[in-house]
């Protein structure tokens, strides 16, 4: 069953971490240098902030201009060192992570060459590409941000607490107490709300129970949105049924009485067709897609609206008519959904039902079938 939560945990987390540490170990001195630069950057920022109080009390209030200039220059040099350190460790981290990722991808490719053919029969091309791109890129992003961020956050937290204690012990204790209370509250709130977020979503695809059997040349080519609409229409209104979704593309799918998805027609969506008019034709303006009062248009805008809306109504009626002719199902139900489904279904007798929540209902039905 193809359940998916955005990532998959490794079968052996400890083993995976050990493998990753091996790759990181090849560049350990680079990571040591990154840690040192992060230390310098965080220290410079903390010290620069701390020096504000002495500068005000010792130089600004007494009016010591010479001392103030020296202090400002010192603070500037300190902040400059921090900025240069930040630039250096970010640059070094990117270069190092790219080297690590290149090594991982090379080894991954070499390992793929040794896999048996049965593996490629059981796994889709998209899943294999995901290993080379998404999964490895996730490792790179984690190295680019997490490694330096952890060190920097620890340094800033430790340094800030020390500086707060130096400036005011009482205020520091108050802040620390409230931080502890806030941490306890967040932890308790997380435990209480966890029960609402522990269900794994289900991706509609191979292995999912739908109650619909796909009888097409290549079932994998059928989009999950069409399957969801088919399930919703078949379960709620029965078969045989033609389910139409008027979205970016307009789809007409035929589901037989026994739940067999037997055919599908795809045409450009109403909005897509309209966009091609004003994008590809030099003098045609962008218009609102509404039904004009009459098909006998008197200006450019209403002529475009008439051609789009009435043309689409005619297309819908003709496709439904041809489906009935070729299947011999003269009493087949017709159900529509999608953004422009209301506009089309409200202006033709060929569509019996318009359900703007059909896709959501189909998803709910599929989820129930897989519990």
Tokens of 260: 């067999």
Q: Which residues of 281-320 are buried (b: 16+ CB within 10 A; e: fewer)?
A: eeebeebebebbeeeebeeebbbbbbbbbbebbebbeebb
Nearest alpha carbon to residue 273 among 226, 318, 305: 305
Tell me whether strands 249-255 and 241-246 are parallel, antiparallel or unpaired: antiparallel
Per DSSP, the chain holds a count of helices (H) and strands (E) of 14, 6
Strand-pairing partners, residue 241, are: 255, 333
Biggest CA–CA distance in the chain, Å, is 99
What is the Cβ-side half-sphere exposure of residue 272, based on CA atoms within 13 angstroms?
9
In this structure, the number of other CB atoms found within 10 A of the CB of residue 186 comes to 10
From its phi and psi, is residue 272 left (phi > 0), alpha (psi between -120 and 50) or beta?
A: alpha
Buried-exposed string 170-183: b where 16+ CB fall within 10 A, e elsewhere:
eebeeeeeeeeeee
Choose, from 225, 229, 253, 355, the residue flagged as catalytic.
225
Place of tokens 């590409």: 129
- 64 as an active site residue: the answer is no
Contacts of 51 (CB under 8 A, 6+ apart): 71, 74, 75, 78
Contact predicate 247/339, CB 8 Å: yes
Catalytic residues: 225
């Amino acid at each position: 069953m193809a359940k998916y939560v955005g990532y998959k945990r490794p079968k052996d987390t400890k083993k995976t971490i050990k493998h990753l540490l091996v790759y990181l170990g090849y560049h350990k001195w680079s990571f040591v240098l990154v840690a040192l630069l992060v230390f310098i950057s965080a220290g410079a920022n903390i010290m620069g902030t701390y020096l504000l109080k002495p500068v005000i009390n010792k130089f600004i209030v007494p009016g010591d201009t010479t001392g103030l200039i020296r202090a400002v220059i010192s603070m500037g040099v300190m902040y400059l060192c921090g900025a240069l350190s930040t630039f250096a460790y970010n640059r070094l981290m990117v270069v190092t992570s790219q080297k690590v990722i290149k090594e991982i991808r090379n080894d991954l490719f070499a390992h793929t060459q040794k896999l048996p053919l049965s593996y490629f029969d059981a796994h889709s091309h998209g899943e294999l590409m995901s290993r080379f791109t998404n999964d490895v890129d996730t490792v790179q992003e984690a190295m680019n941000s997490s490694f330096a961020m952890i060190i920097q956050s620890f340094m800033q937290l430790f340094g800030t607490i020390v500086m707060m204690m130096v400036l005011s012990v009482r205020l520091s204790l108050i802040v620390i107490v409230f931080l502890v209370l806030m941490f306890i509250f967040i932890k308790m709130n997380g435990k209480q709300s966890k029960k609402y977020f522990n269900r794994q979503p289900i991706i509609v695809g191979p292995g999912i129970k739908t109650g619909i059997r796909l009888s097409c040349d290549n079932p994998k080519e059928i989009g999950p949105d069409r399957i969801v609409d088919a399930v919703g229409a078949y379960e709620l209104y029965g078969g045989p049924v033609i389910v139409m979704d008027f979205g970016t593309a307009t789809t007409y799918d035929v589901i037989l009485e026994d739940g067999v998805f037997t055919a599908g027609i795809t045409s450009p969506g109403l909005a897509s067709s309209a966009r091609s008019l004003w994008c590809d034709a030099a003098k045609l303006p962008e218009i609102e897609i509404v039904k004009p009062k009459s098909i006998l248009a008197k200006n450019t805008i209403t002529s475009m609206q008439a051609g789009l809306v009435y043309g689409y109504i005619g297309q819908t009626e003709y496709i439904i008519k041809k489906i009935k002719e070729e299947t011999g199902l003269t009493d087949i139900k017709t159900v529509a959904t999608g953004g422009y489904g209301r506009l089309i279904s409200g202006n033709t007798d060929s569509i019996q039902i318009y359900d703007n929540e059909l896709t959501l209902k189909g998803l709910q039905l599929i989820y129930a079938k897989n519990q």
